[in-house]
Structure 1
């Protein structure tokens, strides 16, 4: 099992420079860093790849789709723009040295159209399935993230994430589960994790307020035992958003400081992860 942390913890904007964050992550003792591809470009990715290696870190990636690049759209041009963005994201993962790409990769974040959910899901599955060769060629696994009802209406539960992954027909597409979202949407977190089975591709941790894992009421004994039951040995990444007052936090409705500072939260999170999952 490897422990990582999302660089977004330290970022005021998604376009912020990531290079200074790498030293924080390495000095704290994490195995790797998770980088959002929001604000990324080819030149930035090429430069970051060597810097990540220089710090002795591994890397995972997250990404999302815009309304102009929506693979659930009925407009073929918009669908194709979404597919091309995801193909770029897979190539960028390969450039950075990441074997994993995960997130809200199935529809734009914050778009709701529940009356057409079935058709949108079918279009998403069809378009994601077209990434199979790209994923295979670059050695990347795609993780479909189940997020809460206030952020999407398309994939809220672990079962929905797994169903969409299976509907793509690709062996290179699985599910990303996140304890913050599981805590909101699942009646039984343990059963939801176990039911994901071999489709669980990635795992995010934070507590119920998106702060340090272990500081709130997420049932961590259940999370630990469920991951152990299913034999999960992949990445566990702390994805925390704790500081109010910056654009990235506002995107996620962080209106008050959840923790006093980012560096302290990162240190406490790793200590908790090491105690809990090793």
Structure 2
């Protein structure tokens, strides 16, 4: 597959205009956007002109925005299971980000952190999630975007951990505004590395994160079987984006790490 992207969390925060051509030259064609990596104010102060400027910079570099992730990084008070005020604010913020995603030319919004139910009963948490989706999914569908719950390991969330749970939710709703995502490190953490996991999502998968524990350089831990995952994706005919999720560890060396991750992703997941 040739649809290899990288998240902008691999870049220094702020102005990326001069950095995006370097990323493209490393061998990717897509960019996944963490909004707070670009803009200091991702909500009230984010203008349509600023969004259009970033899209123009991305496309001038020969890249395309594939979607958004790290949605609540700069708004840790938002998310599910945090009370009614936070619930309403989360609806408003994600509706805004869905429009931003659309205007950037992207499609997927990956909902990772921000969903710990804690002592809330599983049935109560599921009911709140259903109420959330009933409000959000029509907005997503109208924008032509998809909300994807990111499967996460047990250290990262206690609600919708596994790919199987996220698939069940997507099938239950069967809504154009709700997508499905797989995450490489979470597959390992949740014991879902078998080919059956991939066969179950055949025809339904919208997005794949290639990553490592700690969002380290791809292939560096030796614990994530990227070659097996790539083969499994190929076996189900997945033709969507494989997005490298690797964070910047040291600003002077960001190019070295990003290039290493992209080279590894192309080696494992490229055609």
TM-score bracket for this pair, using the shorter chain length: 0.7 to 0.9
Give the alignment of 1:56-71 within 5 angstroms: 56-60=62-66, 61-65=68-72, 66=75, 68-71=77-80
Query: In the alignment, what sits opposite 2:5?
Result: 4
2:69 counterpart SS class: strand
Q: Provide the rounded CA distance (Å) in 2 between the counterparts of 1:70 and 1:206.
A: 23
Q: Does 2:226 correspond to 1:225? A: no
Q: CA, structure 1 residues 124+19, in 2 after alignment: closer, same or farther (shift >3 Å)?
A: farther
Matching residue within 255, 266, 270 for 1:274: 266
Give the alignment of 1:184-195 within 5 angstroms: 184-195=189-200
Q: Does 2:176 correspond to 1:171? A: yes
Query: In the alignment, what sits opposite 2:147?
Result: 142
Q: Provide the rounded CA distance (Å) in 2 between the counterparts of 1:87 and 1:276.
A: 35
1:261 counterpart SS class: helix
Q: CA, structure 1 residues 17+225, in 2 after alignment: closer, same or farther (shift >3 Å)?
A: same
Q: CA, structure 1 residues 219+55, in 2 after alignment: closer, same or farther (shift >3 Å)?
A: same
> Is the contact between residue 9 and residue 242 of structure 1 (CA under 8 Å) also seen in structure 2?
yes
1:173 counterpart SS class: coil
Q: What per-residue deviation string (whole Å, max 9, x for no partner) do you get for residues 99-141 of structure 1?
A: 222132xx715x4515423321331233123333322222212
Q: CA, structure 1 residues 152+102, in 2 after alignment: closer, same or farther (shift >3 Å)?
A: same
Q: CA, structure 1 residues 212+137, in 2 after alignment: closer, same or farther (shift >3 Å)?
A: same
* TM-score, with structure 2 as normaliser: 0.83
How many matched pairs? 257
Deviation, structure 1 residue 273: 2.5
* TM-score, with structure 1 as normaliser: 0.81
Q: List alignment gaps of at least 5 residues for structure 2.
A: none
Q: Does 2:126 correspond to 1:121? A: yes
Q: CA, structure 1 residues 5+119, in 2 after alignment: closer, same or farther (shift >3 Å)?
A: same
Matching residue within 28, 53, 56 for 2:59: 53
Q: CA, structure 1 residues 263+82, in 2 after alignment: closer, same or farther (shift >3 Å)?
A: same
Matching residue within 8, 18, 21 for 2:19: 21
State the structure with bigger RCO (CA 8 A, min sep 6), 1 or 2: 2
> Is the contact between residue 129 and residue 169 of structure 1 (CA under 8 Å) also seen in structure 2?
no
